[in-house]
Amino acid sequence: MASSIDYDATSVIALNYSVRRKLALYLNPTNTVAANWTDVAERMGFSYLEIRNYERLENPTQKLLEEWQTRPDATVGNLLRFLHEVERNDIISELRHLIDEDCRRYLERQVQVPEVDSRQDQGITVHDDLMPEQFDAFICYCKNDLQFVHEMIKHLEQTEYKLKLCVFDRDVLPGTCVWTITSELIEKRCKKMVVVISDDYLDSDACDFQTKFALSLCPGARTKRLIPVVYKPMKRPFPSILRFLTVCDYTRPCTQSWFWNRLAKALYVP
């Protein structure tokens, strides 16, 4: 049965941990006659030196996907095409149902965030008036991290930095569609997005959507748009989807005195 999913329009960001882990199980081994991750890496456009560096890693396939997903051509369609070209149709057959499931979930969330009507977008935030309110950064956080968001407001808005942050619980009017308004704010109202990373963040569907939506907007500018922040020690692994970005780390006492200035300067950068 043919799939109705447009794989070429679906970013590889849609693929979640289970699919990536299974891809690694198929592609990491290099002592088989079947094509492995190095063959796929060549088709993705990675250089000889890059591939040699990845060979040193325990899980080169994971690293390969993390690096490739920052590129404009990083679509599920291209990934499937590369697997077919290196004659790994066995992987496609085994993982197709999982890939389809991830793609549908990813695309459904995008469908749930249609473009906000121009007659309505002036009534999104509490300070919307004749002109839509603009912000320096959208703050992506879960409820359990709200206390740190208050600290962020105090240090970035109420000091000489005078930055304007978009904090959903404070700035967004009630009674609006969460997914629609979130996408409007991230794409059109906010210059950057600060992602507050914690163990609780990893369980938040809202944070997952916001992060993936921001990453999918402009592949060439991802490294400038998102700023991951860690403010307390984590027991769980750092999200792989953000490992290619420099982290602003508040957990180290020796660098805390620089933390707010670094974060503010990052938000000022065009």
Give per-residue pLDDT as tens, 121-167: 557 887 777 678 899 999 999 999 999 999 999 999 999 999 999 99
Q: Which domain holds residue 129?
A: 121-268
Q: Are residues 44 and 144 in the same domain?
A: no
Q: Are residues 139 and 54 in the same domain?
A: no
How far apart are the two ends of the chain, measured CA to CA in Å? 47
- Please determine, for residue 50, whether its predicted confidence score (pLDDT) is greater than 70: yes
Q: Which of 36, 34, 72 is nearest to 54 (CA)?
A: 36
Q: Which residues pair with 165 in a beta bridge?
A: 137
Please give the pLDDT value at position 70: 76
Please give the pLDDT value at position 215: 82
Tell if the pTM clears 0.85, that is, is over it.
Answer: no
User: For residues 191 and 119, which has the higher predicted lDDT (pLDDT)?
Assistant: 191
Q: Are residues 130 and 264 in the same domain?
A: yes
Please give the pLDDT value at position 106: 85
Q: Are residues 185 and 206 in the same domain?
A: yes
- Average of per-residue pLDDT values in the chain: 87
Cβ contacts of 41 within 8 Å, gap of 6 or more: 50, 51, 54, 64
